[in-house]
């Protein structure tokens, strides 16, 4: 049985930890509101942008004349997996769930004889993927210096992906992130960004007619690179909200667990203290009777 001093030190340590987790919960709650608003406001723009590109893509009759970002390379051999996670931990299973989805997809591709290349965004994703798929890593993008996420950050990641595509390093690119639902629910998501996936758009209205100036191919050649950056930016915003929601939930659980531990340790401390007092009284009474 630990002595009273050890129990007292443990109670003080857990109380200090509870203060930290409570403070982190409050910080995450404050950041969550801004991150959630940003993610929700980006969704209508992303959906409308994809709808416009889907309509343009559907109007391009000959796939041979379509831009490479739409038609692809004609192959399906090399896949680039862009795994986007957080730079920090202490956010529950947020990072692990994204990495798990990426690992499962990588395993499926390798089982089919495909070549896998992994580009990580965020330190936690790099560490998680490096343990099992480190030999497939082709690069890492550090976001630790980013104070406030902006579209320019997504453009930087998109530029890296597009540069690799233009140099013929891969045929298909997919991004992995966590879509924000609410504080307790974040859904790991995989989305294909190269070539442009028409299944992400849904049903395209082909009954309406438009005249394009310049032609559809020229417009798509300009919009498709922006579409990659837009998809990455939307994913980063979803990740930001999901991270704060997961951290808020994790720190709330940690705070409650610390409170329960303090209660148990306090009961144990009181029992041990009472036992010490009882023993001292017995010794005093025994000594008095002996006299």
Q: Quick one: 61 exposed, middle or buried, by C-beta within 10 A (0-12, 13-18, 19+)?
A: exposed
- Separation CA 38–CA 237 (nearest Å): 7
Rounded to an integer, what distance in angstroms lies between the CA atom of residue 180 and that of residue 235?
10
Beta pairing, strands 137-141 & 172-182:
unpaired
Residue 148, CA distances (Å) to 35, 38, 164 in order? 10, 12, 26
Collapsed DSSP state (helix, strand, coil) of residue 247:
helix
CA distances from 6 to 12, 253, 270, 278 (A): 10, 25, 13, 20
Catalytic residue among 7, 91, 161, 251: 91
* DSSP code, position 147: S
Query: Is position 91 annotated as part of the catalytic site?
Result: yes
Residues annotated as catalytic are: 91
């Amino acid at each position: 049985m630990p002595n009273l001093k050890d129990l007292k030190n443990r109670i003080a340590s857990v109380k200090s930890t509870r203060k930290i987790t409570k403070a982190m919960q409050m910080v995450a709650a404050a950041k969550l509101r801004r991150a959630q608003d940003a993610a929700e406001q980006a969704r209508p723009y992303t959906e409308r942008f994809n709808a416009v590109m889907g309509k343009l893509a559907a109007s391009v009759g000959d796939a041979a004349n379509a831009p490479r970002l739409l038609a692809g390379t004609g192959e399906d051999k090399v896949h680039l997996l862009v795994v986007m996670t957080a730079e920090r931990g202490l956010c529950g299973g947020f990072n692990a769930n994204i990495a798990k989805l990426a690992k499962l997809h990588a395993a499926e591709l390798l089982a089919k004889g495909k070549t896998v290349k992994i580009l990580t965004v965020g330190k936690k994703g790099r560490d998680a993927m490096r343990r099992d798929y480190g030999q497939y890593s082709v690069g890492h993008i550090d976001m630790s210096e980013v104070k406030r996420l902006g579209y320019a950050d997504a453009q930087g990641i998109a530029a890296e992906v597009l540069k690799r595509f233009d140099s013929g390093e891969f045929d298909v690119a997919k991004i992995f992130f966590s879509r924000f639902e609410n504080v307790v629910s974040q859904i790991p998501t995989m989305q294909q960004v190269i070539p442009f996936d028409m299944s992400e758009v849904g049903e395209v209205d082909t009954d309406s007619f438009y005249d394009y100036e310049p032609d559809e191919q020229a417009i798509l050649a300009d919009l498709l690179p922006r579409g990659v950056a837009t998809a990455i930016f939307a994913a980063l915003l979803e990740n930001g909200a999901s991270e704060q929601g997961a951290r808020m939930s994790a720190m709330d659980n940690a705070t409650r667990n610390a409170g329960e531990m303090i209660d148990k340790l306090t009961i144990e401390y009181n029992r041990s203290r009472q036992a010490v007092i009882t023993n001292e009284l017995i010794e005093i009474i025994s000594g008095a009777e002996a006299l």
